[in-house]
Amino acid sequence: MAGSLRAVTGKQLQLGVLARRMQSIPLTARTVLERASGKSIFEARYYRESQLSRLANLFAHIDVEKWRGMRVLEVGAGLGHLGDAFTALGFDVTSTDGRPEHVEAMRARGRESFVLDLDRDGVDKAGDYDIILAFGVLYHLAKPQEFLQSCGAAAKVLLLETCVCDDREPVVKWVKESSGWLGPDQAVSPNGCRPSPAWVEKTCSEAGFRTVRDISSSIGNWTSGRFDWEAHSTGEWSRSGYNLRKMWVCER
């Protein structure tokens, strides 16, 4: 028994050392190593960390009970892990993505899902839904204004999280996005954007949402994303190795 215990303890120590070493490797290098091991990008450590942190921040600032009975449309879902949280809470969730292979993977595990390319089709054409869950998708779009307008036409509630640029003015920075094996969670088209918080709030208000509440806090921070950053109006969307993020609850 003592020998087995020492073996288990020794293995735990080795795993702990390995985890600390992985943390010391730059994020891009860790991503390369995890992808090389055969992991889906959606199963990479930093990705799962981002999902848990963002959900923790969301649920710390909302009362889901007032939305009971509402239907949820998850957009840019990847493999639908964020939507799983609402499914577990008893909501009727449909998850969509612009890539057919992701939709097939979600259907394979029993999720209601269909292909929705947000740069081509508005969510107001997707069906009758009350809540739109749009985490980590706006900045991957070439037509962010059209997307938010369609959300305003379709839903009572928009749960929105995105990478943003540090600018006090309502502006959008246009960017080219990653492709190849680094890009299965990036834009379907090669074009993306980095809107300023002021632009997002202005556009959501113009889309018909009466309240646009910024719920960004340190609870949502993870290795490569920060919500509690200081505004300096530098125009940057990445600082000291992490992306600048914001999260809102928009209600009609």
Q: Can you give the residue ranges of every domain in the chain?
A: 1-39, 46-251
* pTM: predicted TM-score of the whole model, two decimal places: 0.85
Q: DSSP states of 48-87 as a string?
A: HHHHHHHHHHHHHH--GGGGTT-EEEE-S-TTSHHHHHHH
Going by pLDDT thresholds of 50, 70 and 90, the confidence category of residue 29 is: low
Average pLDDT, the chain: 87
Q: Give the integer Cα–Cα distance in Å for 28 and 242.
A: 11
Q: Give the integer Cα–Cα distance in Å for 136 and 217.
A: 16
CA-atom Rg of the chain in angstroms: 19
Going by pLDDT thresholds of 50, 70 and 90, the confidence category of residue 33 is: low
Q: What is the pLDDT of residues 205-222, one digit of tens each?
A: 999 999 999 999 999 999
CATH number, domain 46-251: 3.40.50.150
Which whole number is the average pLDDT over 95-117?
96
Q: What is the pLDDT of residues 135-184, one digit of tens each?
A: 999 999 999 999 999 999 999 999 999 999 999 999 999 999 876 544 45
